[in-house]
Each structure stands twice: as C-alpha cells, then as structure tokens.
Amino acid sequence: MTLTLKNAKLWMAGFDLSGDHNQLEVNTTKDTPEDTRFGMDSRSYLPDGLRSVAVSHAGMYDQDSTATPLPVDDVLWAEHVGSVVTVMTFAAVGAAGDVGYSFNGIVSAYTPIDGTVGDAHGFSATGQGTGDGVRGTIMEPGVTARTASGNSAEYNLGDLAAGETGYAALHVIATTGSPTLDVDIESDATGFASPTTRTSFVQATAVGAQFLTDSTVTADDFWRTAWIFGGTGSITFVVNFGIQTTG
C-alpha cells in the first residue's frame, strides 16, 4: 500500500508532537564490518554488525511555557539540554493496526530557529536511538480519552521464538482528573479465552512514557494490549508492540 504523508505521528515521552511537524525521516542502519583476507578475490563483509536508528524532523516553532500540553519548543529544548533518554515512536499514519517504530532515544541536535527573513518560524531536530528499536503494531493509537478498562483488537504477530524479543512502548499523552492506568501486553493461541500477560508497564498516573522488553518464549500467535482504569477523570495513551530478532 502506497501512502501519502498527511497525518504522520510523532510521539516523544508524554507528548504528541505530530501537529507541530511537517517533515519526518526515520533511518535504520546495520554495520557490515569488512572481513576480507589474503587469498580472496573480492571484498567480504560480516552480516551481524551493530544496528542503529536515527530520526530527523522539522516543523513550525511554538513556545508558551504556561500552555497545557507544553508546546514543541519547550519539549525539544528540555529533552536536548537535559540529554534525556526518552521513548520515541513514529508512524506514517498511526491508526490502530498500523506500523509504528519505537525506541529509546536522545534529542542529539535541536535548531530552534530555522529560516530566513519573511519565512514562517521553523525548527529542526535530530535524534539518535540508544539500544534496540522495534517495528511494531500500533495497538492503542491515543485518539480516545479512556475512562474505563478495556483492551485493543487482537493482532496475529506470530510466536515469540528463541532469539527474539518483544518490545513495547507506552506514551501517556493526556490526563484529566486523577486517573490510574495499568497496561499489559497479552498473548493467546487464539480467541483470548485465556490470555497470558507477557509484560506489564508500571502503573501510570500522569503524562510520560515507558519502554519494555520481554524474551519469554511462547508459541502464542495472537497479541493485544489490555488496560485497567482506576480513579477519576480520563487518560489518553498510545501503545506500540512488536517482535523481532534480538541484537
């Protein structure tokens, strides 16, 4: 399916920065160290080098430290100056069931003023992943303020075999009142008549983000996220989950 980038999503820590952006590029690379030796008549490379992920993004500048949620300049400046490792998730569309890319990352460069005379005030930034990232499935897209317990749709992502890891990202992007949220990643052979909890995020009560991994082998093919809502008010959140080869 060919897509036109109209509603790409960028979640960073506890913020949905999508509406501030008009450019987004995610790059994944894998080193291929050369191991050419005497006697060979062509170059040889190893396939199991180090992986890395980087992101560059740009958009329209906005500042107002009293606003809720905080505008893009406040978020990127705090993340960059603080050299904070934070959870980042990117998606071309970001609806439930779409592909999302998540990793722990650092805002490695931030240009808060990007333009010339007469231009709209823009900004640009780059980020660098630290550790493994994942190509996952957006299970909860963060478009509905949840006020009760529930679960996502079920997705056939295949089993989690030896040598693979499940990666899960949670972004809590808005709250009202005094809610509590307990989010699990569950699996089942089929139908979710008796699901198994594979990993659980720490209870969330405010905006923020978490990134979890789990390497427990299971033959279950079907996966979903489930949540328990408590307290009062509402909470809006995003969950991305995927399985891939470790390392």
Give me the CATH number covering residue 241.
2.60.120.260
In one letter, which amino acid is 91? A
Asked if residue 38 is part of any domain, the answer here is no
Cis amide leading into 69 (omega within 30): yes
* Rounded average pLDDT over 85-94: 93
Which of the listed ranges 63-67, 84-88, 127-131, 150-154 does the model predict with the highest average pLDDT? 150-154
Asked if residue 37 is part of any domain, the answer here is no
pLDDT score of 1? 65
pLDDT score of 134? 92
**Residue that finishes a domain, picked among 94, 129, 164:** 129
Asked if residue 24 is part of any domain, the answer here is yes
d(CA 89, CA 162): 26
User: Do 167 and 117 have their domain in common?
Assistant: no
CB atoms within 10 A of CB 124: 18
| pTM, full prediction | 0.92
Asked if residue 80 is part of any domain, the answer here is yes
User: Do 150 and 232 have their domain in common?
Assistant: yes
* Rounded average pLDDT over 126-133: 87
d(CA 103, CA 240): 10
DSSP β-bridge partners for residue 106: 128
Reported in sequence order, the residue ranges of 35-133 that DSSP labels E, i.e. its strands, are 51-60, 86-91, 99-114, 122-129
**Residue that finishes a domain, picked among 99, 129, 159:** 129
pLDDT score of 152? 97
User: Do 142 and 123 have their domain in common?
Assistant: no
| Torsion sign over Cα 191, 193, 199, 201 | positive
Asked if residue 86 is part of any domain, the answer here is yes
User: Does residue 55 carry a pLDDT above 80?
Assistant: yes
Asked if residue 152 is part of any domain, the answer here is yes
User: Do 101 and 197 have their domain in common?
Assistant: no
Mean pLDDT score across all residues of the chain: 93
| Digit-coded pLDDT (tens) for 160-198 | 999 999 999 999 999 999 999 999 999 999 889 899 999
CB atoms within 10 A of CB 173: 21
User: Does residue 84 carry a pLDDT above 80?
Assistant: no
User: Do 15 and 118 have their domain in common?
Assistant: yes
**Residue that finishes a domain, picked among 129, 161, 190:** 129
Looking at per-residue confidence, does 69 or 130 come out higher? 130
CA 74 to each of CA 61, 68, 165, 183, 201: distance values in angstroms, whole numbers, following the listed order: 10, 11, 34, 28, 26
User: How would you classify the pairing of strands 21-30 and 99-114?
Assistant: unpaired
* Rounded average pLDDT over 149-160: 96
DSSP result, 48-75: ---EEEEEEEEEE----TTSSSPPHHHH
d(CA 156, CA 165): 16
User: Do 55 and 145 have their domain in common?
Assistant: no
User: Do 63 and 146 have their domain in common?
Assistant: no
* Rounded average pLDDT over 134-156: 97
Contact indicator for 7, 24 with CB cutoff of 8 Å: no
Contact indicator for 75, 81 with CB cutoff of 8 Å: no
User: Do 180 and 202 have their domain in common?
Assistant: yes
* Rounded average pLDDT over 188-212: 95
* Rounded average pLDDT over 139-161: 97
* Rounded average pLDDT over 109-125: 91
User: Does residue 149 carry a pLDDT above 80?
Assistant: yes
Asked if residue 4 is part of any domain, the answer here is no
Cα 171–chain centre separation = 8
Domain limits for position 52: 9-32+45-129
User: Do 166 and 73 have their domain in common?
Assistant: no
pLDDT score of 130? 87
User: Do 124 and 89 have their domain in common?
Assistant: yes
pLDDT score of 51? 87
pLDDT score of 50? 87
d(CA 72, CA 87): 16
Structurally, how many domains does the chain consist of?
A: 2
User: Do 27 and 91 have their domain in common?
Assistant: yes
Contact indicator for 9, 28 with CB cutoff of 8 Å: no
User: Do 201 and 229 have their domain in common?
Assistant: yes
Asked if residue 60 is part of any domain, the answer here is yes
Coil/strand/helix, residue 166: strand
3-state helix, strand, coil in the chain (%, to 5): 5, 55, 40
**pLDDT band at 247; cut points 50, 70, 90:** low
d(CA 79, CA 84): 5
